[in-house]
Amino acid sequence: MAPKLSVVVIGGGGAGVTVAQTLDKKLNPAAHSVTLITGRDYFLHLPATLRMLVTPEPDLEHHAVLPYDNVFGTGNGVGRLSRVVHDKVDHVDEKSGGEGGTVHLSNGERIDWDVLIIATGSVWKGPLNFPSTKKDLPLWTKAREVQQGEECCTRWGWCCWSGYAPPIF
């Protein structure tokens, strides 16, 4: 039996999750494996975060911050041929000849790849610079609500009155 083709997706945002979900549904489990690597231990729905930061409504976090447990519809973070790894990428090596390589994680783990998809998105400064761990989120959110309240009305005000940050529930 030939070894499985290993597909690694770096980035657990909207693009990375969509790619991993699509591959999990369409590829042959006997011939492929998919690994989604994300630095956050939660999925962040950015449009909902705007609403979370600009409204006095309590408990909107559960609409913006979602667990990766059900990213593949299984409830445990593992799909038909996929898994989610929560760690930061330290660096990536490519084999000579350009046929695959290795992703090195900050915890020392190495994940070999035949196909590498980089969908890391952007790191935002200011009100959209969310913490890496879900446990740090409530304190961060409370600090942002106080700190950014005035900025929302002056700099980010368009999302408050334009309806750009509608409820997603």
What integer pLDDT is reported at residue 57 of this predicted model? 66
C-alpha distances in angstroms, 116 versus 15, 70, 111?
14, 23, 11
The reply to whether 167 falls in a domain is: no
In a 10 Å sphere around its CB, with 0-12 CB exposed, 13-18 middle and 19+ buried, how is residue 98 labelled?
A: exposed
What integer pLDDT is reported at residue 169 of this predicted model? 37
Give dist(CA 56, CA 105) in Å, integer: 39
- pLDDT for 69-118, tens place per residue? 877 777 776 777 788 999 999 999 999 888 899 999 999 999 999 999 99
The residue range of the domain holding 127 is 5-162
**Count of the separate structural domains present in the chain:** 1
pTM score, whole prediction: 0.77
What integer pLDDT is reported at residue 53 of this predicted model? 63
CATH number at residue 86: 3.50.50.100
What integer pLDDT is reported at residue 120 of this predicted model? 92
What integer pLDDT is reported at residue 60 of this predicted model? 65
Is pLDDT above 90 for 151? no
Sequence-ordered alpha helix ranges (H) in the chain = 14-26, 46-54, 61-64, 137-154, 157-162
